[in-house]
Amino acid sequence: MRNVRIASLGVSLPPAVLTNDEISRSLDTSDEWIRTRTGIRERRIASADVAPSDLAAEAGRRALARLDLDPLEIDLVVSASLVPDMVFPATAAVAAELIGARAAGAFDVQAGCTGFVYALAVGGSAVTAGLARRVLVLGSEVTSRALDWEDRATCVLFGDGAGAAVLVRGDAEDSIAFDLGNDGAGMPCLNMPAGGARMPASEETVRDRQHFLKMNGHEVFRFALRTVVRSCHGALEAAGLGIEEIDLFVPHQANLRIIDSVAERLGLSPDKIVTTLQELGNTSCASIPLCLAAAEEDGRLLAGKRLLLTGFGAGLSWGSCVLTWRPG
């Protein structure tokens, strides 16, 4: 995908912090148990009156402000959320209205925690095809609303937040190379069973706690190690680059063990890995843009740096991309 680049980033994080110690007061777990298995120390939790679109809109406004762009100059809004505002309309449509991007098309991409990479692919394609000059890509989550807070296998993992990226037409040297895929046989490993047409809400689904996120962590771990490395190599091959030419590795923040194992198998040194899960937990579709913003803030993400982004999640889906950082 040529002649497209990320011009700016924006983030939004709820102010409330939930630590491992606080969780352990109401659940049979401990800070040590959570940290050794996930790497997570704390996470952000949105207040009851905040939805994914609210966080997405705030992140989007910040990304636009950095470019001094009027929201009406955005042609398309593409949003990814594991847990959207509602079944319909799209979270992107709600966020676009909140931002004031009333001239833009708006729709959601649902690819689990891989959603932000997929949204970049769709948004970038719109730019290169001439369908849009400027695309606002959003990844936003209030996953805390979909967690069973009696299930320590899942509730300790996730946090809330949002990230945004503005895609614009670039020069000849600006390109993004992708590798995308999905294995539907893994669908039972990670899903929210009830609430859709297959299992509508009922007294039974509520009683049986079927409206919460369900995950087979062991199988997802195996899937990630098996698939993510292959996907990263696919994106590198599409970009015509070797792993030694990558400056920063920006993985989905699912679990520190997964991140370290994938990086080791790729042959990447620890200084090239960007992580935020220690302070933010697994922020699902927001994890990659939040990592990019963190790397920019701490001075690691500089113009000309080559990045490898990778995600995986429900579907079971995966997606990786390689790009050169050229903001502004």
Residues 193 and 133 both lie in one domain: no
Length of the chain: 328
Residues 16 and 157 both lie in one domain: yes
Q: Give me the pLDDT at residue 79, please.
A: 99
Query: What pLDDT digit, counting tens, does each position of 37-89 carry?
Result: 999 999 999 999 999 999 999 999 999 999 999 999 999 999 999 999 999 99
Last residue of a domain, one of 145, 169, 193: 169
Q: Select which of 182, 189, 232, 252 is catalytic.
A: 252
Residues 203 and 145 both lie in one domain: no
Residues 88 and 196 both lie in one domain: no
**pLDDT lower than 70: segments of the chain:** none
The pTM for the full model equals 0.97
Residues 214 and 249 both lie in one domain: yes
Residues 35 and 143 both lie in one domain: yes
Contact 328, 305 (CB under 8 A): no
Alpha helices per DSSP H over 129-211: 152-155, 203-207
Query: What letter would DSSP give residue 132?
Result: -
- Look up the domain containing 266 and give its range: 176-324
Q: Select which of 282, 285, 291, 321 is catalytic.
A: 282
Last residue of a domain, one of 153, 169, 185: 169
Residues 182 and 131 both lie in one domain: no
To the query of whether residue 182 is one of the catalytic residues in this protein, the response is no
Number of domains in the chain: 2
To the query of whether residue 255 is one of the catalytic residues in this protein, the response is no
Residue 128 CB coordination number (10 Å): 18
Query: What pLDDT digit, counting tens, does each position of 5-46 carry?
Result: 999 999 999 999 999 999 999 999 999 999 999 999 999 999
Instruction: Look up the CATH number of the domain holding residue 68.
Output: 3.40.47.10
Last residue of a domain, one of 139, 169, 199: 169
